[in-house]
Amino acid sequence: MSKLLTRRYLDQIKAMFGKEPEKPREISPAAQKIHFYKKNNRDEIGQLKHRRAHEKPSHKWRNRRWAALIFANLLFVLSYQLDIQVLEGALTASRFVGFHMADLNSALQVMLAHKHIITNLLIGTATVLLLWGLLGGRTFCSWVCPYHLVAEWAEKIHLYLAKKKLVTDQPIDRRLRTVFWIVFAALAVVTGYTVFEAISPTGILSRALIYGVGLSLLWVLALLVFEVFFSRRAWCRYACPIGLTYGVVGIVSPVRIVYSLENCFHEGDCRKVCLVPHVLDTVIKGRAVEPEVPLGPDCTRCGLCVDACPTGSLRFNIKGLSRLL
Amino acid sequence: MSDDTKAPAAAAAKGGAPVSRERKRQGRRKALRTILLTGGVLGAGLSGYLPLLHARSKRLRPPGALDEKEFLQSCIKCGQCVQVCPVNAIRLADLVDGFGVGTPYIDAREQACDFSCDAVQCILACPTGSLTYHKPDFLPVREGAALPQKPTLIAKMNDPEPTLNMTERMGVARLVRPDSCLAMKGEGFKGQARGPGFEGRMRYAEVDRWKPIGIAEHPYDLPLCDLCMRECPIAGAISLEKFTGPGGRTHARPIVHENCVGCGVCEMICPTEPASITIVPREVWTS
């Protein structure tokens, strides 16, 4: 990575903890050239109009992702209900054909509350750390977490109501998620209860799917109502410490979305569909520091922007493997 | 986002001051919303401290559970113990259990742990050591919680290793309603122990050692009720002390011994309603 990209990536790590991304102080000559060329380029504007008029919305990555998410959760359900024993347990901790897996945030809560770690938990945590380290950190959120899926559906209702001018999205301070992460970690240490686990909609939904519904779904429902009528995707954006935990894992992950400046129209369609638009600040006109910019670690690798982009300027990429693919 | 980029331009166009007040107002509102969400989430999180229905009551935990406080600390709420239990004795607690939401418990009257898995599978399945054979050294064993020796499973009596790998009890059985106990009254019992509709299951080693069957499928005909002793899976945990009643009839008093692990089979099989003998969860042995 060039110095400029490294600087931007550090800025994106800060953005993950809640800082608003800054305008770049310096842009590489190569990127500057493209930015300059794009200014008042009539051809490009005509091209843009043409492209958008003919654009067919793609749902390729969304469909793949939903299939993967449903498959993963179904595997949990069927392993128990049909006794096929492939993936036993729930999302908080499980065994995949006998190998221990433990959700990083749940494991952390247990370790902090109990202050004693047994080998199996350590193995499970390490396995999952490695897995999501390789697969992209917050990939867990958009490709596995069942709350993410129901929240996406709730988001559709929210956007429909917003279009009818019945609701407006009320943004909340993004630093709150970091505060929650610290507060819940501290609560686990101090109270000795895994406080966050009691309200984690991921755990609640996963258990409800596998073991049957209960009253705790009311909490999940309350969150969804809040998101539909008040603040778009509030839990995933501003609250969930699981997302931050996996986001930190994603810092070193090779799986990411890469933005290329060349063909981008800067219309911002990608930012409109994104759960974490601060990772896409680079697509704003004049902000890209290099012709190719990988997105920040808070990106959930959900692919909605890849689907939304009419010019193919956003795409999945695996660091180091890009030449092979 | 897009508003942020447009706002300064609008501010410049209008001369700054009025819009900046508007922005201040927006900022204040955002702060209020942030506080609202903070309060909501933390309030929900700490609602475990509310005196909810079962939050303070003692649940019967699966075998090998750490003491309640440590159990709640360490349980990761995954339900792997639920999945391995051959008689589905283990359930997961709901919201009414406060911080215990998602943790496993046993409702012995509905379905007790009869150790038909032979090896205490739930302990083997537990990924965090909430259910454990080897309690960490820094956790003390409450006085009277330790079993006098490894419990011998009657169904495994003829195996080379007839014991269960358990060192502490889950609770202790108590004859809480001696007046309703059939044996105490000198009465027998005929029929299905818990009626035809009861769904609880148990292993009857004489029927099939490896396959638990419904209690409703196994009717009894007993001149003097001894179901609690008869079906107790642990050797030497319960006995009947016979005595002669006023009419010259033979009566019997169920006596619970120190070997009792608190599995709850006696509570499940007891044909009186409510059960004359029940498990006191987490109870320790006092002679």
- Are the beta carbons of A219 and B42 separated by less than 8 Å? no
Region B12-23: mean pLDDT is 63
User: Residue B277 in contact with residue B135, Cβ under 8 Å?
Assistant: no
Q: Give the whole-angstrom CA distance, residue B60 versus residue B36.
A: 38
Mean predicted confidence (pLDDT) in A213-229: 95
Stretch B274-279: mean pLDDT: 96
Residue A65 in any domain: the answer is no
In this structure, is residue B45 part of a structural domain? no
B276 close to B176: Cβ distance less than 8 angstroms: yes
User: pLDDT value at position B51?
Assistant: 67
Instruction: Reply yes or no on whether the pLDDT at B12 is more than 50.
Output: no
Q: Give pLDDT, residue B98.
A: 84
Rounded CA-CA distance B114/B264 in Å is 8
**Mean predicted lDDT score pLDDT of chain B:** 89
Q: What are phi and psi of B88, to 5 degrees?
A: 50, 45
Instruction: Give the pLDDT confidence of A288-319 residue by residue, as tens digits.
Output: 999 999 999 999 999 999 999 988 999 999 98
Residue B61 domain-assigned? no
Reported as a single tens digit per residue, the pLDDT across A109-160 is: 999 999 988 999 999 999 999 999 999 999 999 999 999 999 999 999 999 9
Q: What is the mean pLDDT of chain A?
A: 92
Percent of chain B with pLDDT over 70: 91
Tell me if B73 and A110 make a contact (CB, 8 A cut-off).
Answer: yes
**pLDDT exceeds 60 at position A74:** yes
Give, in degrees to the nearest 5, the angle at Cα B87 between B83 and B90.
55
Q: How far is CA A49 from the centre of its chain?
A: 31
What is the mean predicted confidence (pLDDT) over B17-22?
Answer: 72
Measured between alpha carbons, how far is B263 from B265 in angstroms, rounded to an integer?
6
Which residues of A are less than 8 Å from B30 in CB distance? 170-173
CB A184 within 8 A of CB A244: no
Residue spans of beta strands (DSSP E) within chain B: 90-92, 104-106, 171-175, 189-191, 201-202, 213-214, 220-222, 238-244, 250-256, 277-281
> Across the interface, do B31 and A173 touch by the CB < 8 Å criterion?
yes
**B29 belongs to a structural domain:** no
Is the domain of A228 the same as that of A109?
Answer: yes
* B-chain residues near A204 (CB < 8 A): 101-102
Within a domain: B13: no
Give the residue from A216, A274, A319, A267 showing the smallest Cα distance to B93.
A216
- Same-domain status, A274 and A238: no
- The reply to whether B139 falls in a domain is yes
Domain annotation covers residue A60: no
One domain for residues A136 and A33: no
| Total domains, chain A | 2
Task: State yes or no: pLDDT of B248 exceeds 90.
Answer: no
Q: What is the pLDDT of residues B71-104, one digit of tens each?
A: 999 999 999 999 999 999 999 998 888 888 999 9
Question: To the nearest whole angstrom, how far is the Cα of A217 from the nearest Cα of chain B?
Answer: 9
- For residue B276, being part of any structural domain is answered with yes
In a domain, A62, yes or no: no
Percent of chain A with pLDDT over 70: 98
> Which residues of chain B does A219 touch, with a Cβ-Cβ cutoff of 8 Å?
44, 95
Q: What is the pTM of this model?
A: 0.90
Do A229 and A134 sit in the same domain of this protein? yes
The helix (run of H) or strand (run of E) holding residue B145 is none
Kindly determine whether residue A120 and residue B129, on different chains, have CB atoms separated by under 8 Å.
yes
Per-residue pLDDT reduced to its tens digit, B28-77: 888 999 999 999 999 888 888 876 655 567 899 999 999 999 999 999 99
What is the Cα–Cα distance from B218 to B189, expressed in whole angstroms? Answer: 13
Residues A110, A27 share a domain: no
Same structural domain for residues A230 and A268? Answer: no
Nearest to B112 by CA among B286, B281, B225: B281
Angle at A234 between CA A232 and CA A236, to 5 degrees: 115
DSSP letter assigned to residue B205: T
Query: From the list A194, A203, A211, which residue is nearest B73 (CB)?
Result: A194
Residues A137 and A242 reside in one and the same domain: yes
The pLDDT value given to residue B56: 61
Q: Say what the pLDDT of residue B2 is.
A: 41
CA separation for the pair B141, A17 (Å, rounded) = 43
* Cα angle B122, B131, B234; round to 5: 65
Does B44 sit within 8 Å of A214, measured CB to CB? no
Chain segment B204-219, per-residue pLDDT in tens? 988 998 899 999 999 9
Q: Collapsing DSSP states into helix, strand and coil, what is residue B58?
A: coil
The predicted structure's pLDDT at residue B52: 64
Residue of B nearest to A222 (CA): B40
Say if residues A66 and A149 touch (Cβ distance below 8 Å): yes
Looking at the structure, tell me whether residues A111 and A165 fall in a common domain: yes
Which of A90, A176, A196 faces B45 most closely, judged by CB atoms?
Answer: A196
Report if residue B84 sits inside a domain.
yes
Residue A263: band (very low, low, confident or very high) from pLDDT cuts 50, 70, 90: confident
Classify each residue of A275-307 as buried b or exposed e, where b means 16 or more C-beta atoms within 10 Å of its C-beta. bbbbbbbbbbeebbbbebbbbbbbbbbbbbbbb
Residue contacts between A and B (CB atoms, under 8 Å):
158
Q: A176, B72: Cβ pair inside 8 Å?
A: no
A197, A218, A248 — which closes off a domain? A248
Of all residues in chain A, the one with the smallest CA distance to B85 is: A80
Over residues B175-202, mean pLDDT: 95
Cβ B127–A284 below 8 Å, yes or no?
no
Q: What digits encode the pLDDT tens for the residues B100-155? A: 899 999 999 999 999 999 889 999 999 999 999 889 889 999 999 999 999 999 99
**Domain count within chain B:** 1
B273: left (phi over 0), alpha (psi -120 to 50) or beta: beta
The answer to whether residue B89 is domain-embedded is: yes
Residues A120 and A259 in one domain: no
Are residues A126 and A77 both part of a single domain?
yes
Alpha-carbon Rg of chain B, whole angstroms?
A: 28
Q: Judge whether residue B4 has pLDDT over 60.
A: no
Mean pLDDT computed over A64-84: 94
Residue A322: band (very low, low, confident or very high) from pLDDT cuts 50, 70, 90: low
Mutate to test the interface with B, among A110, A217, A236 (most CBs of B within 10 A): A110
The answer to whether the Cβ–Cβ distance between B75 and A110 falls below 8 Å is yes
Its domain, for residue A271, covers 3-55+254-318
Q: Is A253 exposed, middle or buried (0-12, 13-18, 19+ CB in 10 A)?
A: buried
Residues of the domain holding B189: 68-281
At residue B10, does pLDDT exceed 50?
A: no
Q: How far is B131 from chain A (nearest CA, A)?
A: 12
Q: Are residues A244 and A262 in the same domain?
A: no
Are A231 and A273 part of one and the same domain? no
| A322 or B90, greater pLDDT | B90
Task: Say yes or no to pLDDT of B268 above 70.
Answer: yes
Distance from B261 to chain A by nearest Cα, in Å? Answer: 25
Per DSSP, the residues of A51-95 read HHHHPPPP-HHHHHHHHHHHHHHHHHHHHHHS---SEEEETTEEE
